[in-house]
Amino acid sequence: MTTRDFGNFINGDWADALSGETFESRNPADLTEVLGTFAKSGAADVDRAVQAAKDAYPSWLGTPVPQRADYVLRVALLLEERKEDLSETMTREMGKTLKEARADVQEGIDFAHYMAGEGRRFFGDTIPAELSNKFYMTVRHPIGVAGLITPWNFPIAIPLWKIAPAIVSGCTSVFKPAEDTPLCAALLVDMFREVGLPPGVLNLVNGMGDEAGAALVDHPGVNAISFTGSLEVGRMISEKCARSMKRCSLELGSKNALIVMPDAQMDLAVESAAWGAFATSGQRCTATSRLIVHDRVRAEFTERLVDRVSGMKVGNGLDPEVELAPVINEQQKKRVLEYIGVGRQEGAKVLIGGEEPQGEEYANGHFLTPTVFDEMTPEMRIAREEIFGPVTGIMNVESVEEAIAVANSVDYGLSCSIYTHDITNTFKAVQQLEFGVIYVNAPTIGAEIQVPFGGMKNTGNGHREAGPQSLDEFTEWKTIGIDFSGKLQRAQMSEP
C-alpha cells in the first residue's frame, strides 16, 4: 500500500507543521506497514488554525443554515462512494475488523445525512408572552470557535459526531484527532475541502495530545471544547475549561454491564455478551466489561460463553474469519496484560485467554487473546476500572435488586443491558440503573445516531451527542422578546 502523507489543514490549505516535525501512523496488525507521515503540531500551529477559524466565523455565522448543512450532505455522499476504500484504510490504521470499519463509516454517513436534515429544521420555539402585544421566540446561536478532540476507536464516526453539528450550528472548528488515526482524520477533512467548504470553517491540526491537544484547550480564542476520550484527560480538560470559562462537553470512559436474569433467552444473552465484550477488541466506550449473571443460570451461561469465545479467531482485521483484531498500540497491550495480572492477584479466575497469542502471524502486531474472568467481585479493580481491551468478567448475583446495585456500584455510567422477559424486572432496571443508555435484550454496544448518546457519573458532564441534542453542544439559546404595544410594559407589574 502506498503511504499518504498529510500536513495540517488550515484556512483551506494543507501545510506542514511550522517546526517541520512529523510522526508516522503504522498498522497495529503489521507494524512494518507505514500508512503515512503527518504533521506533529505545536502551539504555533494551533494558534494559526484558531486564527483561521476566528477569521472565518463572521461570514459563516451569516451563512444560511441549509447552505451550511449542504456541505455536510455532500460529504455524506462522498463517504458513500468511498466507503469501501476508507473502511479498508481504517482497518489498516486502527486494526478493527473490516466489517466493523464499514459500520464505523456507515455510522458517519448516517449521522451526516441526519445532520444535513437538521439544517432544514434547526428549530427554535415561539412562546406566548404574559403581556399583550408582545411576542417571544428562541433561536440557536453558534458558540463561536470550537476545539474538537477525538479518540482513535471510531476514527470516522466520532469526528463526524462533532464536525457535522459544529458546521450546521455555525461554529468554525479546529479538529485535533487521535495520534493513532491521523490518516482517517486527514481523508475525512479533505472531503470537506473537496466539496468546497469555505476556508477556515474546518481546520485540522494533527499531533500529540499533550502538545497540540493541550494548546487547543489552552487557547483563549477557542470558545468551546468538545472532547471524547479517557477520564484522566477529560478531567484535566474540564478543570482548564472551568478556569477560562470555556464551554466543555465530555464523553469519557465507562464500565458497562450486561445483566442476565434466569428467564433470559440464553443463546441471545451469550451471543450478545461475546459481541459486546470482544467487538473492536473491547475498545469501545460501551464495551461489555462486566457480566452480572443470576446464580440460577450462571453455570450454563459461563459454559456456553467460554465455548463461544474459544472459537474466536484472533488476527488481522482484513481476514473475514477474524473476530478479534489487534489492540491499538503497544502501550494499550501492556495495560491490558497488566490488568489481567491485577485480576489474577485479586482472586478472579481466568477461564480463557489471559495472554498473547503465539505464532509467526502475531509477531508484528499488538495481538491479545480474548479473556474471560470468573469470580469477579464488585470491589476488585478489574470490576471498577476501564480496561479498554478484550477482557470481561462474570459476577454472581441472586436477585434483580442485587444485579442493579452491582451494575450501579461503579463511578461510570454509559451503557447497561438487561436480558429478561419479566416486565417487572425490566421496569425496575429501567428506573433504577444509573446509565445514560439502557438496553433490554440488546447488547451494550451499537449506538444508533438518531438517539442521544452519553453517560452519567464520571462518563461525562451531562452533555449528549448524536440525536437532536447534538446541536446543544455547539449552540447557545437566544431568547427574543418583541413588544409591539407601543408603550412601556413592565413585566410582572403592568395593569391587566
Distance in angstroms (rounded) separating the CA atoms of residues 271 and 262: 16
Q: Which of 396, 403, 414, 399 is nearest to 454 (CA)?
A: 414
Residues facing 159 on adjacent strands: none
Q: Are 46 and 217 in contact (CB under 8 A)?
A: no
Q: Is 232 a residue of the active site?
A: no
95 counts as binding ligand NAD under rule CB under 6 A = no
Can you tell me which of 146, 148, 149, 270 binds ligand NAD, judged by CB under 6 A? Answer: 149
Shortest CB 253 distance to ligand NAD, Å: 3
In the bound state with ligand NAD, the residue whose beta carbon lies nearer, of 270 and 437, is 437
Can you tell me which of 253, 315, 317, 393 binds ligand NAD, judged by CB under 6 A? Answer: 253
Q: Which of 433, 434, 336, 341 is nearest to 391 (CA)?
A: 336
Shortest CB 63 distance to ligand NAD, Å: 28
Residue owning grid cell 472531503: 191
Q: Site residues for ligand NAD, window 1-40 (CB under 6 A)?
A: none
Can you tell me which of 151, 165, 276, 370 binds ligand NAD, judged by CB under 6 A? Answer: 151
Shortest CB 81 distance to ligand NAD, Å: 26
Q: Are 451 and 436 in contact (CB under 8 A)?
A: no
For 312-371, the DSSP string reads PPBS-TTSTT-SB---S-HHHHHHHHHHHHHHHHHT-EEEE--SPPPSGGGTTS-----E
In the bound state with ligand NAD, the residue whose beta carbon lies nearer, of 74 and 96, is 96
Q: Which of 70, 74, 94 is nearest to 82 (CA)?
A: 74
Q: Are 417 and 311 in contact (CB under 8 A)?
A: no
Shortest CB 251 distance to ligand NAD, Å: 3
In the bound state with ligand NAD, the residue whose beta carbon lies nearer, of 170 and 182, is 182
How many residues make contact with ligand NAD (CB under 6 A)? 31
Name the grid cell of 226: 468538545
Q: Site residues for ligand NAD, window 414-443 (CB under 6 A)?
A: 414
In the bound state with ligand NAD, the residue whose beta carbon lies nearer, of 57 and 152, is 152
Shortest CB 228 distance to ligand NAD, Å: 5
Q: Site residues for ligand NAD, window 208-247 (CB under 6 A)?
A: 209-210, 213-214, 217, 228-230, 233, 236-237
Distance in angstroms (rounded) separating the CA atoms of residues 332 and 336: 6
Q: Which residue is nearest to ligand NAD (CB)?
A: 209
41 counts as binding ligand NAD under rule CB under 6 A = no
The half-sphere exposure of 282 on its side-chain side, counting CA atoms within 13 A, is 27
In the bound state with ligand NAD, the residue whose beta carbon lies nearer, of 153 and 444, is 153
User: Which DSSP symbol is given to 28?
Assistant: T
Shortest CB 179 distance to ligand NAD, Å: 5
H or E element that contains 441: none
Name the grid cell of 287: 464495551
Q: Is 416 a residue of the active site?
A: no
In the bound state with ligand NAD, the residue whose beta carbon lies nearer, of 209 and 326, is 209
Q: Where does this chain touch ligand NAD (CB under 6 A) — which range of 4-12, 144-152, 340-348, 377-385?
A: 144-152
Chain mean position to CA 17 = 27
Distance in angstroms (rounded) separating the CA atoms of residues 124 and 118: 12
Can you tell me which of 118, 251, 472, 473 binds ligand NAD, judged by CB under 6 A? Answer: 251
285 counts as binding ligand NAD under rule CB under 6 A = yes
153 counts as binding ligand NAD under rule CB under 6 A = yes
Q: Which is catalytic among the residues 251, 386, 465, 473?
A: 251
For 263-318, the DSSP string reads TS-HHHHHHHHHHHHHGGGG-STT-EEEEEEEHHHHHHHHHHHHHHHHTPPBS-TT
Q: Site residues for ligand NAD, window 164-203 (CB under 6 A)?
A: 176-179
Q: Which residues bind ligand NAD (CB under 6 A)?
A: 149-153, 158, 176-179, 209-210, 213-214, 217, 228-230, 233, 236-237, 251-254, 285, 386, 388, 414, 455, 459
Catalytic annotation, residues? 251, 285
